[in-house]
């Protein structure tokens, strides 16, 4: 089979790695990149031996079939809409767009054009998350912590849109029963927007998610914990590890410490670069014409929840 002709628009820090991985995938052919910065464009051009174009139109003329959009969020809508209108399948980085109206327009355009729209919520391709979602359903309590030191980029938006949105999308994937109630708090410390935030979400199923994100932490932490009546699961995104603590069958024997009535075992995890898995899955969906794991609607739902959280925080002053 002929490889899918791919391109990347925006080859900065993350976009460069999109280009790098498309260049290595057997199922894809990187046909060109676009970036207004001549140094970034030249680096990708020279490293991967492909043309660098000045405009989206130039890339379209190269016969591209699928494109990663890795430009600033405020440009997602304009770039994606041009690609979709020209029959190109799109993977757009998270968050899907700068506003809900733009996100809705992108989802509608993809449907009207019969094109795929995938959103780059990369944690869904983390081996630990794949193992977790495959082995554990219907949690009663979800606890997420995503903490990191202050970044030198990306701090022009709320930490909710920057970091927390990853865990919001995963929580929505675990429980799609709808949101019954939600409360949130957050503070700005170094930037004009929230640098630390917490949201407590109650789903219609009764499940509760407590999600914290911070970019003013001394140490990095990316963990999610799930609780049910029978098991507790601890997942470390960074280490790609999942540990399951499960109550043994039957009552606790008299005189036995209940903690001795628990089994502890790891889930098998396939450790692979998440971005590589994400791009490979996108290319496969383009070839087979099936919906991606994280659709445009999934990205829209995550953005809608992030917007609601930010509105709640700011309404409190």
CATH of the domain at 103: 3.40.50.720
Is 161 found in the same domain as 149?
A: yes
Which pair of structure tokens corresponds to residue 243?
């540990």
For residue 146, give its domain range.
124-269+304-315
Write the pLDDT tens digit of every residue in 110-125. Answer: 999 999 999 999 999 9
Give the residue-averaged pLDDT of 21-31: 98
Write the pLDDT tens digit of every residue in 156-177. Answer: 789 999 999 999 999 999 999 9
Q: Which residues of 208-235 are buried (b: 16+ CB within 10 A; e: fewer)?
A: bbebbbbbbbeeeebbbbbbbeebbbbb
CB-based burial label for 270 (10 Å; 0-12, 13-18, 19+): exposed
Give the residue-averaged pLDDT of 62-85: 97
pLDDT band at 88 (very low <50, low <70, confident <90, very high): very high
> What was the pLDDT predicted at 254?
84
Is 92 found in the same domain as 142?
A: no
- The domain that holds 174 is classified in CATH as 3.30.360.10
Q: What is the largest CA-CA distance in the chain?
A: 76
Pairing of strands 141-147, 208-214: parallel
Distinct helix (H) and strand (E) counts, the chain: 10, 14
Is 132 found in the same domain as 100?
A: no
Cβ-contact 171, 201 below 8 angstroms: yes
Whole-number Cα distances in Å, 33 to 24, 44, 70, 281, 286: 15, 7, 11, 20, 19
Write the pLDDT tens digit of every residue in 258-296. Answer: 888 789 999 999 999 999 999 999 999 999 999 999 999
User: Which stretch of DSSP H or E encloses residue 53?
Assistant: strand 52-53
Determine the Cα angle at 187 with ends 120 and 74, to 5°. Answer: 35
Number of C-beta neighbours around residue 271 at 10 A: 11
Is 61 found in the same domain as 178?
A: no
Does residue 228 have a pLDDT over 90?
Answer: no
pLDDT band at 130 (very low <50, low <70, confident <90, very high): very high
> What was the pLDDT predicted at 87?
98
Does residue 250 have a pLDDT over 70?
Answer: yes
> What was the pLDDT predicted at 135?
84
Domain count, the chain: 2
Mean pLDDT of the chain: 95
Is 129 found in the same domain as 260?
A: yes
Is 128 found in the same domain as 115?
A: no
> What was the pLDDT predicted at 239?
93
pLDDT band at 155 (very low <50, low <70, confident <90, very high): low
Give the residue-averaged pLDDT of 230-243: 92
Is 104 found in the same domain as 8?
A: yes
> What was the pLDDT predicted at 230?
77
Does residue 32 have a pLDDT over 70?
Answer: yes
Sign of CA dihedral 283, 8, 162, 305: negative
Is 145 found in the same domain as 24?
A: no
> What was the pLDDT predicted at 153?
65
Is 251 found in the same domain as 153?
A: yes
> What was the pLDDT predicted at 303?
98
Question: What pTM did the predictor assign?
Answer: 0.93
Is 138 found in the same domain as 238?
A: yes
Give the residue-averaged pLDDT of 230-238: 91
**C-alpha to C-alpha distance for 76 and 109, rounded to whole angstroms:** 13
Is 176 found in the same domain as 309?
A: yes
Does residue 59 have a pLDDT over 90?
Answer: yes
Is 278 found in the same domain as 219?
A: no
> What was the pLDDT predicted at 102?
98
> What was the pLDDT predicted at 157?
86
Give the residue-averaged pLDDT of 198-214: 98
Which pair of structure tokens corresponds to residue 159?
């930490």
């Amino acid at each position: 089979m002929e490889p899918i002709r791919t391109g990347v628009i925006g080859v900065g820090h993350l976009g460069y790695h999109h280009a790098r991985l498309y260049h290595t995938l057997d199922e894809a052919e990187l046909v060109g990149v676009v970036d207004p910065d001549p140094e970034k464009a030249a680096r990708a051009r020279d490293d991967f031996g492909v043309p660098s174009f000045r405009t989206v139109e130039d890339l379209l003329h190269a016969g591209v079939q699928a494109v990663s959009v890795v430009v600033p969020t405020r440009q997602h809508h304009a770039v994606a809409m041009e690609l979709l209108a020209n029959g190109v399948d799109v993977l757009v980085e998270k968050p899907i767009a700068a506003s809900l109206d733009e996100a809705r327009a992108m989802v509608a355009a993809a449907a009207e054009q019969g094109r795929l729209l995938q959103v780059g919520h990369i944690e869904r391709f983390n081996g630990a998350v794949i193992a977790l979602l495959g082995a554990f359903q219907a949690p009663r309590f979800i606890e997420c912590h995503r903490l990191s030191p202050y970044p030198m980029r990306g701090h022009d938006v709320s930490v909710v849109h920057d970091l927390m949105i990853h865990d919001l999308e995963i929580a929505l994937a675990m429980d799609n029963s709808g949101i019954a109630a939600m409360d949130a708090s957050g503070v700005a410390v170094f930037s004009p927007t929230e640098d630390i935030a917490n949201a407590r979400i109650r789903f219609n199923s009764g499940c509760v998610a407590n999600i914290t994100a911070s970019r003013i932490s001394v140490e990095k932490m990316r963990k999610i914990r799930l609780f049910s009546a029978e098991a507790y699961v601890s997942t470390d995104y960074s280490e790609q590890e999942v540990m399951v603590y499960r109550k043994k069958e039957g009552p606790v024997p008299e005189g036995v410490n209940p903690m001795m009535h628990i089994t502890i075992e790891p889930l098998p995890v396939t450790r692979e670069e998440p971005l590589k898995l994400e791009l490979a899955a996108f290319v496969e969906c383009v070839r087979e014409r099936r919906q991606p794991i994280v659709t445009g609607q999934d990205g829209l739902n995550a953005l809608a929840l992030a917007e609601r959280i930010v509105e709640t925080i700011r309404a409190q002053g």
